[in-house]
Structure 1
Amino acid sequence: MTRWIEVLVGMADGPTTPVQGTVKPYWRTTEPETFYYGSYGEEPVEIPLATDGVRLTRWGRRARIESLDGTLLFLSDGETAWNFTGDPQRPRSTTLRRAQRFGPGRALVVTRPTADWVGDDHARPIGPVTDIDFLGRPCWSVKLAARESVAMPEPSLILVVDAESGAVVAEHSGDGRVGAEYTDIVVGTPMDASDFTWDGPVETDQESRQKTLQHDPHWRESGLAWFRDNVAAGPIEVSVDVELTPRFVEVTNEDTGEFTAPLGTPRQQTGWLHRRRHSPEPWAVRMAEAQFAWSTADFDWTFTLRVGTLDHAGLAAVQQQLHPGEPVIGTPDLVPPTRTAW
């Protein structure tokens, strides 16, 4: 049986020999995905993986991505990343660690820093390593645990690693919703390090920030005015269905029936629900978001909505589903939670 340390050593520095093939990402869900990205105003340098596939070459920490017709899309020498999709003659450039992949497949393109493997974000195996055959090649499959998080829970991550080269050849979310994988693969074709670098003009992060700042300061207002004149003058409002089923429930006191529950789906948290025993004492659960509080004979309730708005009929519908037939008799006194200093 292959040990996890063998897999880790094998893929720690990227493929030991050039690995080439077609890579395709996939999505087996229609739910929207949310990605969080921070910057200082520059446009992100993205790792482009088209749904119909790209040609990916990996060697060590280097990466080269071309479209299926051979157009150069992305390069990395292991330290710097260049994206050619905006301007093929003057690509956007940044450090590789700041290159963003908004979707599955990053593990196939970027070799993680060695220090990341001592953390808790998809860095620890769940169960044993499995020896499998992938595209006719001996490979290892390992499931990695996600970092524990109530606010932004993630599924586990399954990596498939080529046993000979150490290349990550497939990446799947543990819930089966998204992933990316090679659909064909060639190992050992001679390459030159110059195939993974660019020495021409570039647009740096600083230049990207400057370009953003040079926009007309009134461009937002002028765009809105144009929209009101040419498309719709008034507000655009529609009624939509919002998923408010708890994702999980933390029972804080089984004897009194008190609980806290985030609402929505793993990809989109839509609100919070809290319940305690009915009490005249202040309740430290007040939030800045749209929050509704009420009391029944036995319990105090708060419902926080993070998307859209809720009218009286909507609130009544929520209450009827939570405690059918029990009337609302008042409102608890909500106060902000106590802040602690580290």
Structure 2
Amino acid sequence: MAKVESIPWVQVLVQMVHGPDFSIRGIVRSVDQDNRPRNKVGWTTIGNQVPPTLAGGGVDATEIRVWRDGMRVRIEEPDGTVVLLCDGTTCWRFRPNRDLPLAAPVETLQFRGNGTDLLARRPAAHWVGDDFTHPVGQIATTLFLDRPAWTFELAPPPHKSHPMQMVVDQATGLVLQQRSDGAGLVEEWVELTVGEVFDDALFVWNGAADSAEDERRRQLAEHHDRRAQRLDWFRTHVTAEPLQVAVVADVNVDYVHTFDEHTGAFEASLGRQMITGSLARRPRSSQPWELRWAGPVHRWSTADFDWAVALHDTELPVESLATLQTRLHPGVPVLDPSDGI
């Protein structure tokens, strides 16, 4: 039974962030309100980066068996099927219906899904902001798995409905249980042993493996091949003609970043949807005008001002530029740009 005491939040927070660290072994349970496995995640290697190794991802079970000693990790399904090994240098992710595990550097390891985040110590940056970072009410002491622990509730951020309840081990700062009673979600240790010495062989894979970088390149090549095949189909069965059309775009001023009451100079952002851009003016001058905008910059002058506009990721047709100039200064003729702008 929990006992309410006057325990400073900073004491709990320091223990959660800084430890001490011990080796841990046990069983983690993770379920939703219907007692189904929660946070089942996968991965993708499409893109320019080596994908993270997702510990616990794809495990279709409410419990996993885990070992961790520093960056050495072993995760198994309840029947003993290995999900992930990490020897402190390399991680091997074992995938259903694949003969070989996927090997990736330890730096790519992330604890996500199936309760594996209970294996990771949360850094100080995690506790900045309002996303379940502030306790509500007092902190109580309790026993959890026969270990002295603190229990408390964290306030939800404005966009979430229910608070989070947590139980934290006093000796290690390890999160023993986190749950949302309102949402019916629970992640918790159901068995836990702290401080054992593990055999190195528990964390090592000596067989063949696929490289995460090779798989990323292979999937990227397959992605490009599929894209080219589908474009070829369209050109063959629909049309190979270029599809260039004029588009009416809303490029109203969205935000005025700077303005000067005395000179009339300003700089603003245009548009809010697919097409965006920048617009600025200054008193007419022959001095250089460094705008550092993306995209082609169109510049012109009137008797009183220098003007500049740019649309991001698209070109502004001559006819559209003329329409824009008329809207900005109706009846005022456009002069040749000032020297240097």
Partner of 1:44: 51
CA distance in 2, matches of 1:112, 1:6: 13
2:297 corresponds to 1:291: yes
Offset at residue 329 of structure 1 (A): 1.7
- 2:16 matched to 1:10? yes
1:208 maps to what in 2?
215
Aligned residues of 2:9 and 2:135 also touching (Cα < 8 A): no
Instruction: Decide whether aligned partners of structure 1 residues 204 and 226 sit closer, same or farther in structure 2, where only a CA change above 3 A counts.
Output: same
Q: Report percent identity of matched pairs.
A: 20
One-letter code aligned to 1:329: V
Q: How many residues align?
A: 282
CA distance in 2, matches of 1:85, 1:328: 68
Q: Which residue of 2 aligns with 1:95?
A: 105
Partner of 2:128: 125
AA aligned opposite 2:128: P
**How far off is 1:204 after superposition?**
1.4
CA drift at 1:301: 2.9
Is 2:257 aligned against 1:250?
Answer: yes
Distance in 2, matches of 1:44 and 1:55, equals 25
Q: Which residue of 1 aligns with 2:29?
A: 20
As a proportion of its length, which structure holds more strand? 2
> Which consecutive residues of structure 1, in runs of 5 or more, have no partner in the other structure?
26-35, 144-158, 171-180, 337-342
2:311 aligned residue: 305
Please tell me the residue identity of whatever aligns with 2:16. Answer: G
Task: Give matches, 1:69-148, under 5 Å.
Answer: 75=84, 77=86, 79=88, 80-83=90-93, 88-98=98-108, 108=117, 111=120, 117=124, 125-126=128-129, 129-132=133-136, 138-140=152-154
- In structure 2, the CA distance between the partners of 1:249 and 1:333, relative to structure 1 (3 Å rule), is same
Name the residue aligned to 1:229: 236
The root-mean-square deviation of aligned C-alpha atoms, in Å, is 6.0
**C-alpha separation in 1, matches of 2:311 and 2:113:** 29
- Which amino acid in structure 2 is aligned with residue 21 of structure 1? S
The Cα of 1:295 is off from its aligned counterpart by 3.3
Deviation string for 1:170-207 (max 9, x for gaps)? Answer: 9xxxxxxxxxx98333333358999x967354211454
Aligned partner of 1:138: which letter? F
What is aligned with 1:277? 283
Question: 2:188 and 2:266 mapped to 1: Cα distance?
Answer: 54
Report the Cα offset of residue 130 of structure 1. 1.8
For 1:104 and 1:334, locate their aligned partners in 2 and report how far apart those are by CA, in whole Å: 61
Uncovered stretches (5+) of structure 2, i.e. residues with no partner: 1-6, 32-37, 41-45, 138-150, 158-162
Give the superposition deviation at 1:19: 4.4
Cα separation, 2, equivalents of 1:21 and 1:303: 54
Relative to the length of structure 1, the TM-score reads 0.52
SS in structure 2 of the partner of residue 275 of structure 1: strand
User: Normalising to structure 2: TM-score of the pair?
Assistant: 0.52
Preserved CA contact (<8 Å) 2:299 2:309: yes
